[in-house]
Amino acid sequence: MDNISLKVRILDKDYQVNCQPAEREVLENSAQILNDKMEDIRRSSNIIGVERIAVMAALNLTHDLLRAEDTAKQDAGASQVLEAIDSKLDSVLFDLDRK
């Protein structure tokens, strides 16, 4: 499948990006999230310069991603515990039914 050329706008500057047609919506959403984060940093801090704002946005977004991954791992661990409890309950109920 051929790539398409897509224009995204981040901090009042246009960037031309190539992507697969199926990835267009995700790329547009990603650019919007990045732009919003960079705008927030520019408005709420004394950081000057697009490069510094971009680095801070990257750090913030990476932090958010790592926290989300950690939460997902904890949820998976809790799911395994619940499955083990469910299995034990099934075993106990089966034993009770046999008596």
- Could you tell me the fold of the domain covering 4-98? Double Stranded RNA Binding Domain (3.30.160)
Spatial distance between the Cα atoms of 52 and 54, rounded to a whole number of angstroms: 5
Q: Which residue has the higher pLDDT, 83 or 49?
A: 49
Spatial distance between the Cα atoms of 45 and 67, rounded to a whole number of angstroms: 23
Looking at every residue in the chain, the average pLDDT score rounds to 90
The residue to which tokens 């515990």 are assigned = 81
The contacts of residue 24 (CB under 8 Å, 6+ apart) are 4, 6
The residue to which tokens 């190539």 are assigned = 18
For the cut 90, the answer to whether the pLDDT of residue 85 exceeds it is no
pLDDT per residue as tens digits for the range 19-64: 999 999 999 999 999 999 999 999 999 998 999 999 999 999 999 9
Domain ranges of the chain: 4-98
Alpha carbon of residue 3 to chain centroid: 24
For the cut 80, the answer to whether the pLDDT of residue 69 exceeds it is yes
